[in-house]
Amino acid sequence: VSEHLENRTDPAGRAIQTRHLVDAIDKYDPEAPVLLGGDFNTLTASHEERHGDPAAWLARVAAEPGRLIDVERHEPLFADLAGSGFDWQAANNLDLPTQRREPETPVGRIDWFFTRGLLASAPATIAAILPDGSPSSDHEALAVTIRLK
C-alpha cells in the first residue's frame, strides 16, 4: 500500500488519516501481509507551528536535536500502527533523514515503511540524485527486503 499523508495538518490529523487507511486495509483483508510505505509527513508539529513563526520553529528544533529524525514520540500514528500489528524498526534506517531541503531548513525522516505479517531486512535510504549530481526529488528513495513470515 502506498500513501501520502497531508503535510498541512498536525500529528493528530496524520494519525486520523492513518487509522482510516488501516481500517480500509482491514476491511479488504485483515489477515493479509501488508507493506505500507510512503510519505507520512512525520514533521512532529502542525503546519502553523512550523511556518507561522519560522524562527521559533528553528529554535524549537535546535533545542531538541534529533526531533525530526526520532519522530515516534511526537507522532501518534506510530502507536496506532503498532496497535494494529505493524512494525517499522526493521524496515527503516531510523537514524537517517529522507527529506532534502534548503540548507537553512531542518531535514527529517518523513518517509517510512511499515510491515504486518512480513519479515523486513536490509533497509536502505538511497540518495535521489540524477547522473549530473542534481537531486531528482525532495525525498530520498527507500528500499527494504521483505519476505513472508
* For range 57-74, the mean pLDDT: 95
* For range 24-28, the mean pLDDT: 98
Provide the pLDDT confidence category of residue 101 given band limits of 50, 70 and 90.
confident
pLDDT for the residue numbered 124: 97
pLDDT for the residue numbered 40: 98
pLDDT tens for residues 102-118?
777 788 999 999 999 99
Three-class secondary structure assignment of 61-103: HHHCCCCCCCCCCCCCHHHHHHHCCCECHHHCCCCCCCECCCC
User: Cα(34)–Cα(24) distance, rounded to whole angstroms?
Assistant: 12
Average pLDDT, the chain: 95
User: Cα(18)–Cα(24) distance, rounded to whole angstroms?
Assistant: 10
Percent of the chain at pLDDT > 90 equals: 93
* For range 85-104, the mean pLDDT: 90
pLDDT for the residue numbered 24: 98
